[in-house]
């Protein structure tokens, strides 16, 4: 059954509302939860990229979509961790963060496609009690972001497509920590940054395809405020400046049968450009630089998809994700170690509709942070039992 004009209007409105209003929280710093089909395959979609979420995974893939397509959905993340320090065990607060996504693609002619999407590429979600032992380092850190991503794709030949796109990212950051002089310190900043991406996809035959995506570095300049509970004059925070890293993703897909598909992706993120966060103040207060000096890091993802019937699809995946944080630069704001992700997914197709569900278990390796009292880490800390549960649903429609 085809969608009426009214149905089209409702779905497009849903895409636009989610796309321009979404400000989802997220656990971690770099995010890949861009659709629940993708989540079920551990984010390994670069060489397949054959549904509207290709706008996020590999925009060149939208040339596989005839006509008009839309998708909306969300992932829900519940992170947790424990820290042993000074003979005590501290746990993060139980929080659930939402990562929404929305995509719309349109075929213009046999060679040209356009699309627009909303998804989150970066995020942080960490919460401890305000009086825990590491509160002078941080007790709350939240970054929420969303990217509005228009793309254009061209089918150069029957087997080869290329695409380019923009990334209009809105990010907001909030941090709370304790200080012996200032008391409870509260920092807030938000702003826009513009980035770009280039991508390509090539099909060797009906079984093998490859994809490649490059995302440019983005400079985030957030304007904000800083306050403290003791009312100490400290100057007003004017800007908070950081570089968000570029990345390159390569993927290869193999379809041994019509019902079975594999995708293997490798991502190199150039975290070395995220070398510091600079806090600038007025009122005669000197700027403060928080040194990060991250290392470039790799992410490896393998996903599999099997059509159980024409209507029912099963998915699974695995990720190994390297930490970019070097020894001596760890803090309590982010998961600080390598992580492993195990995923499962289910898809249902009915006419022009698709519904996808996914679940992921994220396990972070334990890590020891040596005492750095000047940075709010009073004693050696052992981070363990650090994990996250992720689930979600996406709905798609082909007009």
The sign of the dihedral angle between the CA atoms of 18, 23, 26, 31 is: positive
**Predicted pLDDT of residue 8:** 46
Cα separation, 62 vs 113, in Å, equals 7
**Predicted pLDDT of residue 283:** 67
**Percent over 90 (pLDDT), the chain:** 65
- Over 70: is that where the pLDDT of 315 sits? yes
**Predicted pLDDT of residue 13:** 39
Q: Are 249 and 266 in contact (CB under 8 A)?
A: yes
* Band (239; pLDDT cuts 50, 70, 90): confident
- Over 50: is that where the pLDDT of 1 sits? no
**Predicted pLDDT of residue 393:** 97
Q: Are 394 and 72 in contact (CB under 8 A)?
A: yes
- Over 50: is that where the pLDDT of 9 sits? no
**Predicted pLDDT of residue 11:** 44
SS3 235: coil
Query: Mean pLDDT, the chain, as a whole number?
Result: 89
**Predicted pLDDT of residue 77:** 93
Distance of alpha carbon 277 from its chain centroid, rounded? 20
Q: What are 324-367's pLDDT values in tens digits?
A: 988 888 888 876 789 999 999 999 999 999 999 999 999 999 88
Q: What are 260-307's pLDDT values in tens digits?
A: 999 999 999 999 998 888 888 886 667 888 888 889 999 999 999 999
**Predicted pLDDT of residue 284:** 62
Mean pLDDT of the region 36-62: 97
**Predicted pLDDT of residue 257:** 96
pTM above 0.95, yes or no: no
Mean pLDDT of the region 16-24: 38
**Predicted pLDDT of residue 27:** 32
Other beta carbons within 10 angstroms of residue 232's beta carbon come to: 12
Cα separation, 369 vs 68, in Å, equals 51
Q: What are 135-172's pLDDT values in tens digits?
A: 999 999 888 899 999 999 999 999 999 999 999 999 99
Contacts of 64 (CB under 8 A, 6+ apart): 49, 50, 54
Q: State how far the alpha carbon of 215 is from the alpha carbons of 58, 94, 229, 253, 269, in Å.
A: 11, 33, 41, 21, 9
**Predicted pLDDT of residue 305:** 98
**Nearest CA to 169 among 106, 217, 224?**
217
């Amino acid at each position: 059954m085809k969608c009426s004009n009214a149905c089209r209007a409702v779905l497009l409105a849903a895409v636009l509302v989610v796309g321009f209003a979404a400000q989802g929280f997220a656990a971690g710093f770099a995010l890949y939860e861009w659709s629940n089909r993708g989540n079920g395959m551990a984010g390994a979609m670069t060489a397949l990229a054959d549904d509207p979420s290709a706008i996020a995974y590999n925009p060149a893939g939208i040339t596989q979509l005839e006509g008009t397509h839309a998708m909306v959905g969300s992932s829900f993340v519940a992170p947790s961790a424990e820290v042993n320090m000074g003979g005590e065990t501290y746990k993060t607060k139980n929080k659930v963060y939402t990562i929404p996504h929305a995509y719309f693609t349109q075929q213009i002619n046999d060679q040209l496609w356009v699309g627009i999407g909303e998804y989150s590429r970066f995020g942080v979600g960490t919460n401890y009690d305000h009086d825990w032992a590491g509160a002078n380092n941080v007790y709350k850190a939240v970054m929420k972001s969303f990217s509005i991503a228009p793309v254009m794709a061209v089918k150069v030949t029957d087997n080869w497509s290329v695409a380019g796109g923009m990334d209009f990212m809105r990010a907001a950051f909030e941090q709370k920590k304790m200080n012996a002089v200032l008391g409870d310190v509260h920092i807030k900043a938000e702003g826009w940054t513009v980035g770009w991406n280039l991508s390509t996809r090539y099909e060797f035959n009906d079984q093998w395809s490859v994809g490649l995506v490059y995302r440019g570095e983005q400079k985030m300049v957030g304007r904000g405020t800083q306050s403290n509970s003791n009312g100490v004059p400290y100057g007003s925070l004017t800007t908070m400046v950081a570089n968000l890293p570029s990345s390159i993703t390569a993927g290869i897909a193999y379809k041994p049968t019509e019902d079975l598909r594999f995708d293997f992706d490798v991502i190199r993120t150039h975290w070395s450009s995220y070398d510091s966060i600079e806090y600038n103040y007025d009122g005669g207060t000197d700027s403060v630089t928080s040194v990060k000096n991250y290392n470039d890091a790799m992410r490896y993802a393998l996903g599999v998809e099997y059509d159980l019937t024409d209507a029912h699809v099963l998915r699974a995946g695995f990720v190994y994700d390297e930490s970019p944080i070097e020894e001596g630069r760890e803090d309590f704001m982010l998961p600080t170690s390598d992580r492993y992700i195990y995923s499962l997914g289910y898809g249902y197709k009915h006419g022009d509709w698709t519904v996808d569900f996914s679940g992921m278990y994220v396990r972070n390796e334990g890590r020891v942070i040596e005492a750095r009292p000047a940075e709010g880490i009073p004693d050696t800390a052992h981070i363990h039992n650090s994990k996250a549960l992720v689930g979600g649903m996406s709905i798609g429609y082909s007009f």
